[in-house]
């Protein structure tokens, strides 16, 4: 009589939700890229590349992650969210601990937990919060990589007045840049745009249902010009209504920008 084959102890794949933080200064952005010549990975890796390599090393197979959105080269994150599907028989804490040993020091796994099958890091998001730090004067070596040093005197009250004119649901085409390809809807609900000074640090916090390419850095660039007295507060409203990006709008450098939180409801 033939013995029955043993039943394999298998674990079905499930969806996992992960929050991570990273120092973007050593990466060419979040999203995995290919070079224009032959499709090889870029010499400078992306955050997604490093995370996928770490998870693949632990899970034993190529693991594809899906982020809540892109961040550009040099932009940091305190609360980037991504999801992936994988089989794992132990708890999420053990998965996080195992993956940490395969990641560079510039990336931190903040949390991993099981997620419903319908959860999608990007499509399920209801909004995002970014912060941008401006430093008045020459920042010290420990602050300089994470803030824009501005050497002109800054009028924070004028910056707040300009920020108030930008809040709300508007077409922000004038404060965005083109990625190339198909044109996207440029209407966004800017729920919050705050300017707070503590000592020599001026922190700008922006919350919206979504952000356009380089939108936060463009808003910061305009607010700093207002603070320096080179742009009247009311002029930002005129630029907004023009729906055209012109010389008064410039993009602040990436080093002061942080993806602070992704909102899910």
Q: What is the CATH number of the domain that holds 52?
A: 3.30.70.580
Q: Do 216 and 97 lie in a common domain?
A: no
Q: Do 133 and 249 lie in a common domain?
A: yes
DSSP state of 178: -
Bigger pLDDT: 12 vs 122: 122
Full residue range of the structural domain in which residue 42 is found = 14-114
Note the pLDDT tens digit of each residue in 194-242.
999 999 999 999 999 999 999 999 999 999 999 999 999 999 999 999 9
Section 78-99 average pLDDT: 96
**What is the full DSSP assignment across 123-144?**
TT--EEEEEEEEEES---TTTG
pTM of the predicted structure, to 2 decimals? 0.91
Per-residue model confidence (pLDDT) at position 184: 86
Catalytic residue (one of 23, 72, 155, 194): 72
Question: Distance (Å, rounded) from C-alpha 102 to C-alpha 250?
Answer: 38
Section 34-61 average pLDDT: 79
Number of domains, the chain: 2
Q: Do 154 and 98 lie in a common domain?
A: no
Question: Distance (Å, rounded) from C-alpha 217 to C-alpha 6?
Answer: 59
Per-residue model confidence (pLDDT) at position 7: 39
Q: Is the pLDDT of residue 8 over 60?
A: no
Asked if 72 is an active-site residue, the reply is: yes
Q: Locate all alpha helices (DSSP H) within the chain, ordered by sequence.
A: 47-59, 92-100, 156-166, 215-227, 233-242
Q: Is the pLDDT of residue 19 over 80?
A: yes
Q: Do 163 and 212 lie in a common domain?
A: yes
Per-residue model confidence (pLDDT) at position 5: 43
Q: Do 157 and 245 lie in a common domain?
A: yes
Among the listed residues 198, 199, 256, 176, the one whose alpha carbon sits nearest the alpha carbon of residue 224: 256
The pair of three-digit structure tokens given for residue 179, joined into one six-digit string: 């990625």
Report the SS3 class of residue 40. coil
CATH number of the domain residue 258 falls in: 3.30.70.660
Band of residue 6 on the pLDDT scale cut at 50, 70, 90 = very low
């Amino acid at each position: 009589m033939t013995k029955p084959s043993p039943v394999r102890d298998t674990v079905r794949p499930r969806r996992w939700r992960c929050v991570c933080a990273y120092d973007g200064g050593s990466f060419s952005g979040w999203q995995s890229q290919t070079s224009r010549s032959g499709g090889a990975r870029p010499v400078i890796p992306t955050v997604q590349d490093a995370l996928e390599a770490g998870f693949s090393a632990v899970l034993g197979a190529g693991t594809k992650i899906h982020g809540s959105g892109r961040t550009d080269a040099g932009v940091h994150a305190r609360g980037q969210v991504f999801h992936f599907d994988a089989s794992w028989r132990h708890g999420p804490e053990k998965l996080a601990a195992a993956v940490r040993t395969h990641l560079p020091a510039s990336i931190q796994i903040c949390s991993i937990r099981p997620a419903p099958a319908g959860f999608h890091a990007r499509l399920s998001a209801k909004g995002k919060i970014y912060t941008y730090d401006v430093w008045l004067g020459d920042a010290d070596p420990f602050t300089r990589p994470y803030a824009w040093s501005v050497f002109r005197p800054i009028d924070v009250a004028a910056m707040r007045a300009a920020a108030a004119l930008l809040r709300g649901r508007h077409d922000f085409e004038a404060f965005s840049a083109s990625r190339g390809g198909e044109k996207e809807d440029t209407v966004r609900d800017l729920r919050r745009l705050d300017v707070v000074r503590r000592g020599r640090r001026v922190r700008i916090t922006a919350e919206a249902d979504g952000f356009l390419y380089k939108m936060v850095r463009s808003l910061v660039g305009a607010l700093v010009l207002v603070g320096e007295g080179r742009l009247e507060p009311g002029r930002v409203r005129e630029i907004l209504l023009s729906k055209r990006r012109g010389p008064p709008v410039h993009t602040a450098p990436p080093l002061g920008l942080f993806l602070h939180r992704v909102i899910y409801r």
